[in-house]
Amino acid sequence: MQDLKVTKCLTPDSNGHPGNGRGSQGGEGANAAPSDLITIIRNNIENKPCLNGKHLVNVIGYQNMQINIQSFRRLAKKSLNKYFGKSVLYSNIDYESNFDEYKTLQWRSEAKEFYSPRPRILSTVAGLLNYLQNNKYFSMDLETDMRLNFQSVVLDTGTRDGYLIDVLESIGFNNVVGIEFLNDYVDYAKTKQRNVCLGDVHDIPFDDETFDLIVCRHVLEHTIDPIKVLSELTRVGVKGSIIFISFPLEYIPKGKHTIAIPTTKAITKLIKDSYINVKIVYLGASEDLYIIPDGKEITIILEKIA
């Protein structure tokens, strides 16, 4: 396990980049059993004249309409999955040729503390570490054979105000760095003594095999070239490193989301097309890891095997 202190990352390398640093709500019946709930509903209908006679017919008609709408949605989703579900969809705007326009698009507001995503960030850290600990990838014990512990070197990509760095450091990690490609966000994070460097996830400014754990939370959908991004995330990880990626399932690119990943099949195909030597450790709904999802959020955890 490395003894690297990542604060050294700000020392430029020969290319001018930072080096690698290694040298229930509810009223009546809220807790009732299903059969009791049915009784409560039936009693409410029988005791309220507005739900008797023709009004009850209207209610049943409304329910049937909702059933038809749900059936249509399922059919539409099935059709979308059939025709678009295997591939990532890209924006029709050529942001590679106009990177300044891309940066303007991704700028959210003036640099500040971004409070709204913090419950999700906290749950992400807790859910990820809990999963890694249960599956014997992470231990809080420094004297361990497991590949991850509090001495591990961690990278947070697209760190914005650097809050995730604070979270990891507060629970014991002492080698954490974030990269952010918007200058004013980097400058702000530094005023809060957060270890943030200027950097783009398409071209991560660190040497090969630098990090033990790499976090890419809701960044992939904001990228231009996700294959290049996956390649970079893998390049800077040591052998056996863990790469955490989360993103929403979407059918079309829109706004700041410059790509759309419609299904889990699409992300597995993207990984295959990236020719990265990784093993998929987990692929599924974020909420199954007790992570508060942002949209229909998917988590994928990769292990670099070479």
- Does position 258 have pLDDT exceeding 60, yes or no? yes
| The Cα angle at residue 151 between residues 140 and 136, in degrees rounded to 5 | 40
18: burial class by Cβ within 10 Å (0-12, 13-18, 19+)?
buried
Average pLDDT, the chain: 81
- Does position 64 have pLDDT exceeding 80, yes or no? no
Domain end marker among 84, 114, 148: 84
- Does position 191 have pLDDT exceeding 50, yes or no? yes
What is the arithmetic mean of pLDDT over 94-105? 82
Domain shared by 127 and 224, yes or no: yes
Quote the CA–CA distance of 6 and 153 in Å, as a whole number.
Answer: 7
Domain shared by 148 and 196, yes or no: yes
> In which domain, by residue range, is 283 found?
87-304
Residue 17 resides in a domain: no
Say what the pLDDT of residue 284 is: 97
Domain shared by 208 and 291, yes or no: yes
Quote the CA–CA distance of 194 and 16 in Å, as a whole number.
Answer: 21
Residue 189 resides in a domain: yes
What is the arithmetic mean of pLDDT over 132-154? 91
Q: What is the DSSP string of 183-218?
A: HHHHHHHHHTT--EEE-BTTB-SS-SS-EEEEEEET
- Does position 89 have pLDDT exceeding 60, yes or no? yes
Domain shared by 102 and 53, yes or no: no
CATH number at residue 175: 3.40.50.150
Say what the pLDDT of residue 12 is: 41
Domain shared by 258 and 283, yes or no: yes
Q: What torsion do the CA atoms of 300, 81, 202, 274 make, to the nearest 10 degrees?
A: 80
Q: Please give the residue that has the higher pLDDT: either 29 or 98.
A: 98
Q: How confident is the model at residue 93 (pLDDT cuts 50, 70, 90)?
A: confident
Domain shared by 151 and 40, yes or no: no
Q: What torsion do the CA atoms of 242, 274, 262, 99 make, to the nearest 10 degrees?
A: 100
Give the number of domains in the chain: 2
Whole-structure pTM value: 0.74
- CA-closest candidate to residue 121, choices 196, 249, 218: 218
Q: How confident is the model at residue 207 (pLDDT cuts 50, 70, 90)?
A: very high
- Phi then psi for residue 171, to 5 deg, are -100, 0
Domain shared by 260 and 214, yes or no: yes
For residue 179, the surrounding DSSP H or E stretch is strand 176-180
- Does position 144 have pLDDT exceeding 70, yes or no? yes
269-298: pLDDT as tens digits:
999 999 999 999 999 999 999 999 999 999
- Phi then psi for residue 302, to 5 deg, are -115, 150
- Does position 177 have pLDDT exceeding 60, yes or no? yes
Residue 166 resides in a domain: yes
- CA-closest candidate to residue 182, choices 96, 107, 105: 107
